[in-house]
Amino acid sequence: MLELRGIRVPGRQAPRLDQVDLCLHPGERVALLGASGAGKSTLLAVANGLLKPAAGTVLWEGVPPALGRRARRRQQARIGTLWQDLRLIEELTVQQNLNAARLAHWGWPRTLLNLLVPLESEACAQVLRRLDLDPSLLGAPVAALSGGQRQRVAIARMLRQEPVLLLADEPLASLDPRLAADLLQLLLALAEPPKALLLSLHRPDLLAGFDRVIGLRQGRVLFERAVADVDGDLLAELYGGSGA
């Protein structure tokens, strides 16, 4: 599904990522654990193709990033990302935001028409219903939504993209514990096989439900093992000072 080999991303002083290997199989749910600044966001940016590593290989569904613009866009359309800051377009309606996830497949007529009339309402309503949101929200401007609704609309947009690989960058960071647990269950449930999920976290208390954990420290993979095998010592090393 996703294969990264020997990834290196230079930084100002130390490299942001160094010799990182990662393999994600269909149906797998993997948590990316590490302190802030460990390189989790950088790794996700490499995984969704926004950042080109200085060295190393990226394979999406076994294929390297295409050179042609069009083919490359098709590949990226199959990777959905949930951003910590959501990145919804405040000025547009919920439906226009959901449809923005289809731009990779749309030509200019539909790109412009989406800004004028409601397009593909049934498909949009469907993703909203999957997230327990009322389809009557479709016409509302995003700026008018509550915090919880926005979070769900952002997930709905990711689903509307129909991705096979789901990436999420600290989606639980700014939520209270109960909301965070609910949202995590939702994301885990959405990543049904053959979809795969890679989710970055900085709190180690939410690992239940994942298949594997990858610990990242100072741009390097410190460990990679099943959730059951992650113990306190390992976490102490992951979050410990600069270490020897």
Task: Enumerate binding residues for other proteins (CB under 8 A).
Answer: 48-50, 69, 73-81, 83, 85, 87-93, 96, 100-101, 103-104, 106, 111-112, 115-117, 141-143, 161
**Could you tell me how far CA 143 lies from the centroid of its own chain?**
23
Taking the least distance from each CB to other proteins, the nearer of 103 and 181 is: 103
Q: Which C-beta is closer to other proteins: that of 103 or that of 123?
A: 103
For the CB of residue 169, give the shortest distance to other proteins in the complex, in Å. Answer: 11
Could you tell me the smallest distance in angstroms from the CB atom of residue 90 to other proteins? 4
Helix 147-160, helix 177-190: angle, nearest 10? 10
Sequence-distant (6+) residues with CB within 8 A of 241 are none
Of 172, 158, 144, the residue nearest 87 (C-alpha): 158
Q: Are 58 and 46 in contact (CB under 8 A)?
A: yes
Q: Which of 86, 28, 89, 23 is nearest to 58 (CA)?
A: 23
Q: How far is the CB of 208 from other proteins (least distance, A)?
A: 29
CA angle 41, 158, 189 (to 5 degrees): 90
List Cβ neighbours of 191 (8 Å cut-off, separation of 6 or more): 29, 166, 197
Nearer Cβ to other proteins, position 14 or 112?
112
CB of 206 to other proteins, least distance (A): 24
Q: Nearest CA to 84 among 222, 11, 183, 218?
A: 183
Nearer to other proteins, 127 or 230 (CB): 127
Smallest gap from residue 173 Cβ to other proteins (A): 16
93 vs 151, beta carbon nearer other proteins: 93
User: 31 or 44, CB closer to other proteins?
Assistant: 44
Quick one: 54 or 71, whose CB is closer to other proteins?
71
The C-alpha angle with vertex 174 and arms to 38 and 81, in degrees rounded to 5, equals 65
Distance in Å, CB of 86 to other proteins, minimum: 9
Instruction: Determine the Cα–Cα distance for residues 135 and 142; give it in Å rounded to an integer.
Output: 14
In whole angstroms, the minimum distance from the beta carbon of 228 to other proteins comes to 33
